[in-house]
Amino acid sequence: MCVSRIFPEAGLKDVPPLGMLVGSESHKVIIIGSGPAGYTAGLYAARALLDPLMFAGYMSGGQLMLTSDVENFPGYPAGIGGPEMMIHMREQAERFGLEVRDKNVERVDFSERPFGIWVEGEEFRSEAVIICTGAEALWLGVEGEDAHKGRGISTCATCDGAFFRDEEIIVIGGGDSAMEEATFLTRFASKVTIVHRREGFRASKVMYERAVSHPNIAIKTFRQVKSWLSDENGLTGAVLEDPRDGSEEEIACTGAFIAIGHKPMTGFLEGEVEMDDSGYIVHTEHTMTSVAGVFAAGDVVDKRYRQAVTAAGMGCQAAMDAEKWLENQH
Protein backbone atom coordinates (compact mmCIF):
# COMPACT_ATOMS: atom_id res chain seq x y z
CA MET A 1 0.00 0.00 0.00
CA CYS A 2 1.27 3.45 -0.85
CA VAL A 3 2.12 5.46 2.26
CA SER A 4 0.39 8.51 0.78
CA ARG A 5 -2.92 6.69 1.22
CA ILE A 6 -2.23 6.24 4.92
CA PHE A 7 -0.51 9.56 5.64
CA PRO A 8 -1.40 11.88 2.75
CA GLU A 9 0.00 14.95 4.52
CA ALA A 10 3.09 13.32 5.96
CA GLY A 11 5.61 15.07 3.72
CA LEU A 12 7.85 12.11 2.95
CA LYS A 13 10.42 13.71 0.66
CA ASP A 14 14.12 13.22 1.30
CA VAL A 15 13.64 10.39 3.78
CA PRO A 16 16.92 8.47 4.16
CA PRO A 17 16.84 4.77 3.27
CA LEU A 18 16.55 2.26 6.07
CA GLY A 19 19.89 1.46 7.62
CA MET A 20 21.55 4.79 6.75
CA LEU A 21 21.70 5.93 10.36
CA VAL A 22 24.30 7.97 12.21
CA GLY A 23 25.11 8.47 15.88
CA SER A 24 26.47 6.31 18.65
CA GLU A 25 23.54 3.89 18.61
CA SER A 26 20.93 3.54 15.87
CA HIS A 27 17.54 1.83 15.81
CA LYS A 28 14.55 1.40 13.54
CA VAL A 29 12.09 2.32 16.29
CA ILE A 30 12.59 4.01 19.64
CA ILE A 31 9.67 4.17 22.08
CA ILE A 32 9.77 6.97 24.63
CA GLY A 33 7.74 6.09 27.73
CA SER A 34 6.03 2.92 28.87
CA GLY A 35 2.65 2.12 30.43
CA PRO A 36 -0.09 0.26 28.53
CA ALA A 37 0.50 2.35 25.38
CA GLY A 38 4.27 1.96 25.39
CA TYR A 39 4.38 -1.73 26.22
CA THR A 40 1.71 -2.56 23.63
CA ALA A 41 3.57 -0.52 21.02
CA GLY A 42 6.72 -2.39 22.00
CA LEU A 43 4.98 -5.74 21.70
CA TYR A 44 3.67 -5.01 18.21
CA ALA A 45 6.92 -3.43 17.02
CA ALA A 46 8.91 -6.40 18.33
CA ARG A 47 6.61 -8.90 16.66
CA ALA A 48 7.07 -6.92 13.43
CA LEU A 49 10.84 -7.51 13.79
CA LEU A 50 11.59 -3.80 14.14
CA ASP A 51 14.01 -4.40 17.05
CA PRO A 52 12.46 -1.63 19.15
CA LEU A 53 14.26 0.10 22.00
CA MET A 54 12.21 1.60 24.83
CA PHE A 55 13.27 4.32 27.24
CA ALA A 56 10.70 3.56 29.93
CA GLY A 57 11.63 6.34 32.33
CA TYR A 58 12.79 6.07 35.91
CA MET A 59 9.26 5.12 37.03
CA SER A 60 8.54 2.61 34.31
CA GLY A 61 4.96 1.44 33.94
CA GLY A 62 3.26 4.82 34.01
CA GLN A 63 0.28 5.79 36.14
CA LEU A 64 -0.90 2.20 36.57
CA MET A 65 2.07 1.66 38.85
CA LEU A 66 0.12 3.86 41.27
CA THR A 67 -3.19 2.02 40.84
CA SER A 68 -4.15 -0.57 43.43
CA ASP A 69 -6.84 -2.50 41.55
CA VAL A 70 -7.66 -2.63 37.85
CA GLU A 71 -11.14 -4.05 37.36
CA ASN A 72 -12.05 -2.86 33.86
CA PHE A 73 -9.30 -4.33 31.69
CA PRO A 74 -10.58 -7.33 29.67
CA GLY A 75 -9.11 -10.70 30.56
CA TYR A 76 -8.92 -10.22 34.33
CA PRO A 77 -12.29 -11.35 35.73
CA ALA A 78 -11.06 -11.06 39.33
CA GLY A 79 -9.22 -7.80 38.69
CA ILE A 80 -5.48 -7.23 38.92
CA GLY A 81 -3.12 -4.82 40.61
CA GLY A 82 -1.79 -2.06 38.37
CA PRO A 83 1.89 -2.80 39.03
CA GLU A 84 1.32 -6.52 38.41
CA MET A 85 -0.37 -5.76 35.09
CA MET A 86 2.53 -3.57 34.02
CA ILE A 87 5.02 -6.32 34.88
CA HIS A 88 3.01 -8.75 32.74
CA MET A 89 2.87 -6.33 29.81
CA ARG A 90 6.58 -5.63 30.00
CA GLU A 91 7.53 -9.30 30.21
CA GLN A 92 5.31 -10.16 27.25
CA ALA A 93 6.85 -7.46 25.06
CA GLU A 94 10.38 -8.39 26.15
CA ARG A 95 9.69 -12.03 25.25
CA PHE A 96 9.28 -10.95 21.62
CA GLY A 97 12.39 -8.79 21.59
CA LEU A 98 11.60 -5.37 23.07
CA GLU A 99 14.66 -3.90 24.78
CA VAL A 100 13.75 -1.78 27.80
CA ARG A 101 16.01 0.72 29.51
CA ASP A 102 14.66 2.43 32.63
CA LYS A 103 16.00 5.88 31.79
CA ASN A 104 14.50 9.29 31.02
CA VAL A 105 14.84 11.04 27.69
CA GLU A 106 16.31 14.52 28.17
CA ARG A 107 15.72 16.05 24.75
CA VAL A 108 15.00 15.21 21.13
CA ASP A 109 15.69 16.64 17.69
CA PHE A 110 13.03 15.85 15.12
CA SER A 111 14.25 18.40 12.57
CA GLU A 112 15.93 15.77 10.42
CA ARG A 113 15.99 12.04 9.95
CA PRO A 114 17.19 9.85 11.49
CA PHE A 115 15.79 11.51 14.62
CA GLY A 116 18.05 12.41 17.52
CA ILE A 117 17.28 11.36 21.10
CA TRP A 118 19.49 12.17 24.08
CA VAL A 119 19.48 10.06 27.23
CA GLU A 120 21.80 10.92 30.12
CA GLY A 121 24.10 12.72 27.71
CA GLU A 122 24.22 9.84 25.23
CA GLU A 123 22.90 10.29 21.71
CA PHE A 124 20.66 7.77 19.97
CA ARG A 125 19.27 7.80 16.44
CA SER A 126 16.05 6.27 15.17
CA GLU A 127 14.17 6.03 11.89
CA ALA A 128 10.83 6.26 13.70
CA VAL A 129 9.78 7.32 17.19
CA ILE A 130 6.69 6.45 19.24
CA ILE A 131 5.95 8.77 22.16
CA CYS A 132 4.08 7.22 25.11
CA THR A 133 5.17 9.40 28.01
CA GLY A 134 1.69 9.73 29.51
CA ALA A 135 0.74 12.34 32.07
CA GLU A 136 1.80 13.17 35.64
CA ALA A 137 -0.12 14.20 38.73
CA LEU A 138 -0.97 17.84 39.37
CA TRP A 139 -0.29 19.56 42.70
CA LEU A 140 -2.28 22.35 44.32
CA GLY A 141 0.62 24.77 44.65
CA VAL A 142 -0.67 26.33 47.89
CA GLU A 143 1.19 27.62 50.94
CA GLY A 144 3.08 24.93 52.86
CA GLU A 145 2.82 22.29 50.13
CA ASP A 146 6.43 22.10 49.01
CA ALA A 147 7.66 21.53 52.56
CA HIS A 148 5.42 18.49 52.95
CA LYS A 149 5.60 16.79 49.56
CA GLY A 150 6.38 13.19 50.40
CA ARG A 151 6.24 14.11 54.08
CA GLY A 152 2.53 14.03 54.70
CA ILE A 153 1.22 15.19 51.31
CA SER A 154 1.21 12.71 48.44
CA THR A 155 -0.34 12.04 45.04
CA CYS A 156 -0.12 8.25 45.37
CA ALA A 157 -2.28 6.42 47.90
CA THR A 158 -0.93 3.05 46.81
CA CYS A 159 2.62 4.22 47.49
CA ASP A 160 2.08 6.02 50.79
CA GLY A 161 -1.26 4.98 52.27
CA ALA A 162 0.21 2.45 54.68
CA PHE A 163 2.16 5.22 56.42
CA PHE A 164 -1.12 6.64 57.78
CA ARG A 165 -2.53 3.67 59.63
CA ASP A 166 -5.25 4.67 62.11
CA GLU A 167 -4.88 8.35 61.23
CA GLU A 168 -7.28 10.93 59.81
CA ILE A 169 -6.49 11.99 56.26
CA ILE A 170 -8.04 13.99 53.43
CA VAL A 171 -8.29 13.46 49.68
CA ILE A 172 -8.63 16.45 47.36
CA GLY A 173 -10.49 15.99 44.09
CA GLY A 174 -13.80 15.05 42.53
CA GLY A 175 -13.01 12.53 39.80
CA ASP A 176 -12.57 8.77 39.62
CA SER A 177 -8.99 9.03 40.85
CA ALA A 178 -10.08 10.84 44.01
CA MET A 179 -12.82 8.27 44.68
CA GLU A 180 -10.41 5.38 44.15
CA GLU A 181 -7.76 6.96 46.38
CA ALA A 182 -10.27 7.60 49.16
CA THR A 183 -11.71 4.09 49.01
CA PHE A 184 -8.27 2.51 49.00
CA LEU A 185 -7.11 4.63 51.94
CA THR A 186 -9.88 3.29 54.18
CA ARG A 187 -7.77 0.14 54.44
CA PHE A 188 -5.39 2.12 56.64
CA ALA A 189 -6.87 5.41 57.85
CA SER A 190 -9.42 5.73 60.63
CA LYS A 191 -11.24 8.44 58.66
CA VAL A 192 -10.99 9.79 55.11
CA THR A 193 -12.53 13.12 54.12
CA ILE A 194 -12.96 13.97 50.43
CA VAL A 195 -12.59 17.71 49.83
CA HIS A 196 -14.07 19.08 46.60
CA ARG A 197 -14.47 22.66 45.44
CA ARG A 198 -17.84 22.10 43.78
CA GLU A 199 -21.07 20.32 44.62
CA GLY A 200 -21.02 18.10 41.53
CA PHE A 201 -18.50 15.32 40.99
CA ARG A 202 -16.82 14.28 37.73
CA ALA A 203 -16.45 10.71 39.01
CA SER A 204 -18.40 7.89 37.43
CA LYS A 205 -21.52 6.88 39.33
CA VAL A 206 -20.14 3.51 40.41
CA MET A 207 -16.93 5.02 41.79
CA TYR A 208 -18.80 7.84 43.54
CA GLU A 209 -21.35 5.52 45.13
CA ARG A 210 -18.62 3.18 46.31
CA ALA A 211 -16.88 6.05 48.09
CA VAL A 212 -19.87 7.84 49.64
CA SER A 213 -21.38 4.62 50.92
CA HIS A 214 -18.26 3.73 52.88
CA PRO A 215 -18.76 4.35 56.61
CA ASN A 216 -15.25 5.78 57.06
CA ILE A 217 -15.50 8.33 54.23
CA ALA A 218 -16.90 11.84 54.71
CA ILE A 219 -17.36 14.50 52.03
CA LYS A 220 -16.93 18.26 52.17
CA THR A 221 -18.14 20.13 49.09
CA PHE A 222 -17.60 23.80 48.22
CA ARG A 223 -14.22 23.63 49.90
CA GLN A 224 -10.71 24.11 48.54
CA VAL A 225 -7.36 24.00 50.31
CA LYS A 226 -5.97 27.47 50.92
CA SER A 227 -2.90 26.42 52.92
CA TRP A 228 -1.43 23.52 54.87
CA LEU A 229 -0.89 23.51 58.64
CA SER A 230 1.97 21.84 60.47
CA ASP A 231 4.06 21.70 63.61
CA GLU A 232 7.44 20.25 64.48
CA ASN A 233 6.09 16.71 63.98
CA GLY A 234 4.75 17.31 60.48
CA LEU A 235 1.40 17.93 58.82
CA THR A 236 -1.46 18.71 61.21
CA GLY A 237 -4.22 19.93 58.92
CA ALA A 238 -5.37 22.36 56.27
CA VAL A 239 -7.17 25.68 55.97
CA LEU A 240 -10.22 25.18 53.76
CA GLU A 241 -11.84 28.05 51.90
CA ASP A 242 -15.36 28.27 50.55
CA PRO A 243 -14.96 29.54 46.95
CA ARG A 244 -18.42 31.09 47.07
CA ASP A 245 -17.83 33.61 49.86
CA GLY A 246 -14.20 33.20 50.97
CA SER A 247 -15.09 31.91 54.43
CA GLU A 248 -12.51 29.64 56.03
CA GLU A 249 -12.36 26.67 58.36
CA GLU A 250 -9.64 24.31 59.54
CA ILE A 251 -9.64 20.55 59.18
CA ALA A 252 -7.32 18.28 61.12
CA CYS A 253 -5.34 15.64 59.24
CA THR A 254 -1.91 14.06 59.39
CA GLY A 255 -1.96 12.99 55.76
CA ALA A 256 -3.30 14.38 52.51
CA PHE A 257 -3.60 12.94 49.02
CA ILE A 258 -4.06 15.18 45.99
CA ALA A 259 -6.06 13.72 43.10
CA ILE A 260 -7.00 16.68 40.90
CA GLY A 261 -5.79 15.51 37.54
CA HIS A 262 -2.71 15.21 35.41
CA LYS A 263 -0.65 17.08 32.88
CA PRO A 264 1.00 15.51 29.83
CA MET A 265 4.71 14.80 30.14
CA THR A 266 5.73 16.67 27.01
CA GLY A 267 8.03 19.40 28.28
CA PHE A 268 11.04 17.86 26.54
CA LEU A 269 9.14 17.97 23.22
CA GLU A 270 8.52 21.72 23.14
CA GLY A 271 9.07 23.06 19.65
CA GLU A 272 9.46 19.58 18.18
CA VAL A 273 5.87 18.42 17.62
CA GLU A 274 2.53 20.21 17.57
CA MET A 275 0.75 20.32 20.93
CA ASP A 276 -2.45 21.93 22.16
CA ASP A 277 -2.65 24.66 24.77
CA SER A 278 -2.54 22.08 27.58
CA GLY A 279 0.57 20.37 26.22
CA TYR A 280 -1.13 17.29 24.78
CA ILE A 281 0.29 16.05 21.49
CA VAL A 282 -1.93 16.57 18.45
CA HIS A 283 -2.40 13.80 15.90
CA THR A 284 -2.38 14.88 12.25
CA GLU A 285 -3.05 11.56 10.52
CA HIS A 286 -3.97 8.41 12.42
CA THR A 287 -1.39 8.27 15.26
CA MET A 288 1.23 10.34 13.45
CA THR A 289 2.19 13.68 14.94
CA SER A 290 2.99 16.85 13.01
CA VAL A 291 6.38 15.29 12.22
CA ALA A 292 6.39 12.46 9.69
CA GLY A 293 7.83 9.35 11.33
CA VAL A 294 6.99 10.44 14.87
CA PHE A 295 3.92 8.83 16.43
CA ALA A 296 2.19 9.22 19.79
CA ALA A 297 -0.14 7.07 21.87
CA GLY A 298 -1.86 6.96 25.24
CA ASP A 299 -2.49 9.67 27.79
CA VAL A 300 0.07 11.98 26.19
CA VAL A 301 -2.57 12.40 23.46
CA ASP A 302 -5.85 11.31 25.02
CA LYS A 303 -7.70 13.87 27.15
CA ARG A 304 -11.10 12.20 26.81
CA TYR A 305 -10.92 8.52 27.74
CA ARG A 306 -7.67 8.09 29.74
CA GLN A 307 -8.18 4.36 30.17
CA ALA A 308 -5.61 1.58 30.21
CA VAL A 309 -7.49 -0.34 27.53
CA THR A 310 -7.73 2.66 25.17
CA ALA A 311 -4.07 3.49 25.76
CA ALA A 312 -3.11 -0.08 24.89
CA GLY A 313 -5.22 0.05 21.74
CA MET A 314 -3.60 3.30 20.67
CA GLY A 315 -0.17 1.81 21.32
CA CYS A 316 -1.04 -1.00 18.94
CA GLN A 317 -2.17 1.54 16.33
CA ALA A 318 1.01 3.59 16.67
CA ALA A 319 3.25 0.56 16.19
CA MET A 320 1.30 -0.57 13.14
CA ASP A 321 1.38 2.94 11.70
CA ALA A 322 5.13 3.12 12.29
CA GLU A 323 5.64 -0.26 10.63
CA LYS A 324 3.67 0.77 7.52
CA TRP A 325 5.44 4.11 7.36
CA LEU A 326 8.87 2.47 7.55
CA GLU A 327 7.94 -0.06 4.86
CA ASN A 328 7.17 2.76 2.47
CA GLN A 329 10.48 4.57 2.90
CA HIS A 330 12.19 2.33 0.33
CA dist., res. 221 & res. 201, Å (int):
9
Look up residue 227 and give its amino acid: S
- Of the candidates 160, 176, 302, 321, the residue annotated as catalytic is 160
Q: Which residue, 63, 98, 103, 109, is CA-closest to 83?
A: 63
Burial of residue 245 (number of CB atoms within 10 Å: 0-12, 13-18, 19+): exposed
Phi, psi of 162 (to 5 degrees): -65, -15
Q: Which residue, 202, 150, 148, 152, is CA-closest to 177?
A: 202
In the β-sheet with 234-241, what is the strand arrangement from edge to edge?
224-231, 234-241, 248-252
CA dist., res. 150 & res. 6, Å (int):
47
Residues forming beta bridges with residue 123, ordered by sequence position: 118
- Of the candidates 102, 109, 159, 276, the residue annotated as catalytic is 159
Active site residue 159: yes
Active site residues: 156, 159-160
